[in-house]
Amino acid sequence: MGRPFLKWAGGKRQLIPEIIQNLPLDFDNKEWTYVEPFLGGGALLFHMLNHYDNVSKVIINDSNSDLISSYTSIRDDLENLIIELKKIEEEYLMASEDSRAAFYYKTRKCFNEGTTKGSLRSAQFIFLNRTGFNGLYRVNKKDKFNVPHGKYAKPNICNSKNLKKTNQILQHAIILNGDYKSTLEYCEGDNIFFYLDPPYRPLTKTSSFNSYSKKAFDDNEQIRLKKFCDFLDAKGIKWLLSNSDPKNYNPDDDFFDDLYKAYSIKRIQAKRRINSVVEQRGTVSELLICNY
């Protein structure tokens, strides 16, 4: 069974049991087209492909071009990707701690300059993800990756066995790189299920983390996404959406309760790990919203 090959801030691995419990009641009884327009690390995607034989068609998308290129490299150019990744891994692991940091920043600079292409660039992307701080993907206003070195003792950079399994389960997936609405062009027939995991709405002004691209996913984008959900609902397509719960910090913030008042809203508990202040890490409420 393949599993996520990236560490991804905001990944849904810990929430999978809750998400599975909230799938449509008839999910086990039909063949489904599974659509994930905000792919990220793909924790739920891998779970679905490993555990549901009745998922007959898969459509995945993300606006992050380097992220999507890493998926397509695994599917279409695995041999060269592994060769490049092993070269990087060997040089990095043989270096001293100080030299590792220098190698990381040299690779980051090369990556940001955009001078590499194809499997080598995908290998750099995976390397930076596996050795950068806390599995973050963050860019600045110039759209440059700016995550610092993570200083891990034994990072698992090239897991060839898992990459080969991932290659197998991605063979028949439609992989897109663009706006989430583009996924609709590939949806045909009945029994279509969307899982929507957009950049979360920040809980506070200082806790914002949706810098996956230089274009912020602000409240206007959240409203645009809701209108897309309305469109899916009108077409009879079932969808489940996850997002932050503003009521964690402001009990009077009804942004999502008002926005999705026509749909089912459920609050679940999740551990929040992305905070520089250890004392502020802990369990928070998150939202699962669906149209069924």
| Class of the CATH-defined domain 70-162 | mainly alpha
Question: φ and ψ at 55, to 5 degrees?
Answer: -85, 100
Position 101 confidence tier, pLDDT thresholds 50, 70, 90: very high
3-state secondary structure 145-202: ECCCECCCCCCCCCCHHHHHHHHHHCCCEEEECCCHHHHHHHCCCCCEEEEECCCCCC
| Class of the CATH-defined domain 13-22+30-63+178-290 | alpha beta
Question: pLDDT digits over 37-67, tens only?
Answer: 999 999 999 999 999 999 999 999 999 999 9
Position 123 confidence tier, pLDDT thresholds 50, 70, 90: very high
Residues of the chain with CATH 1.10.1020.10: 70-162
What's the pLDDT at 207?
53
Question: pLDDT digits over 7-38, tens only?
Answer: 988 788 889 999 999 999 999 999 999 999 99
What's the pLDDT at 192?
98
Q: Which two tokens stand for residue 65?
A: 């071009």
Average pLDDT of span 124-141: 92
Convert 183-216 to b/e letters by CB count within 10 Å (16 or more is b).
bbeebeeebbbbbbbbbbbbbeeeeeebbbbeee
Neighbour count for residue 263 (Cβ, 10 Å): 16
What's the pLDDT at 272?
64
Average the pLDDT over each of 90-99, 208-217, 271-280 and give the range with the smallest value. Answer: 271-280
Question: 237 or 134: which carries more pLDDT confidence?
Answer: 237
Average the pLDDT over each of 104-113, 121-130, 201-210 and give the range with the smallest value. Answer: 201-210
Helix (H) or strand (E) holding 109: helix 97-113
Residues of the chain with CATH 3.40.50.150: 13-22+30-63+178-290
Neighbour count for residue 17 (Cβ, 10 Å): 10
